[in-house]
A and B are shown apart, each in its own frame.
Chain A
Amino acid sequence: QQQVKQSPQSLIVQKGGISIINCAYENTAFDYFPWYQQFPGKGPALLIAIRPDVSEKKEGRFTISFNKSAKQFSLHIMDSQPGDSATYFCAASRGQAGTALIFGKGTTLSVSS
């Protein structure tokens, strides 16, 4: 049973365009939703995260949109750059002792120049 479903699996965007990656979750007990960025040969790095009490969070060119009723959240990368080419993972957790991040399957983003 996949608790966090991520789409698309891969994405090609032109430089300067908007990249959008979507995630859906099933467990309504989840209360922490981060996005991680992973470059080849490196570990995942926390990009931005949101909690269910807000519908949007923006940090620079990265924005998370959160829809609690639909149990969906998305990552928007504005003005996408070749340096953004990486694999992006959404995740969710209950934020309690004895729990851990549950990851989506990842999206490989390629930004063409």
Chain B
Amino acid sequence: DTAVSQTPKYLVTQMGNDKSIKCEQNLGHDTMYWYKQDSKKFLKIMFSYNNKELIINETVPNRFSPKSPDKAHLNLHINSLELGDSAVYFCASSQEAGGTEAFFGQGTRLTVV
């Protein structure tokens, strides 16, 4: 039974399109995160939600908008996709603050062509 699941696993789309990535965790955690892993494997925090409330919003283009309908779900919507958005996006969750004992999903590889 997957703890943090993301869909889709792969996403190939054209520049200018709008796409969404969904994330669900069944761990009962209060905090969820979106990380971006670039082509050099660097992991960078994008957003964090605690109990549906946005608590971290790093310097990310406004085209990226997270949405948390409930504390088990955190989705990422991206408008007007650009080539530079190509990366692997990871959802994660943790019970305690600060990413302590955070569990990561399997990632969504986004390719913008």
Contact = CB atoms under 8 A, between A and B. Distances in A.
Interface of A: 32, 34, 36, 38, 41-46, 49, 87, 89, 91, 93-103, 105-106
Range, interface on chain B: 20 to 34
A87 B100 contact: no
Given A44-B90, A102-B45, A106-B42, A93 B104 contact: no
B66 interface: no
Interface of B: 4, 33, 40-45, 48, 50, 55-56, 90, 92, 96-107
Contacts of B33: 100
Given A32-B100, A44-B104, A46-B103, A97 B41 contact: no
Given A87-B41, A103-B42, A43 B107 contact: yes
A93 B99 contact: yes
B106 A103 contact: no
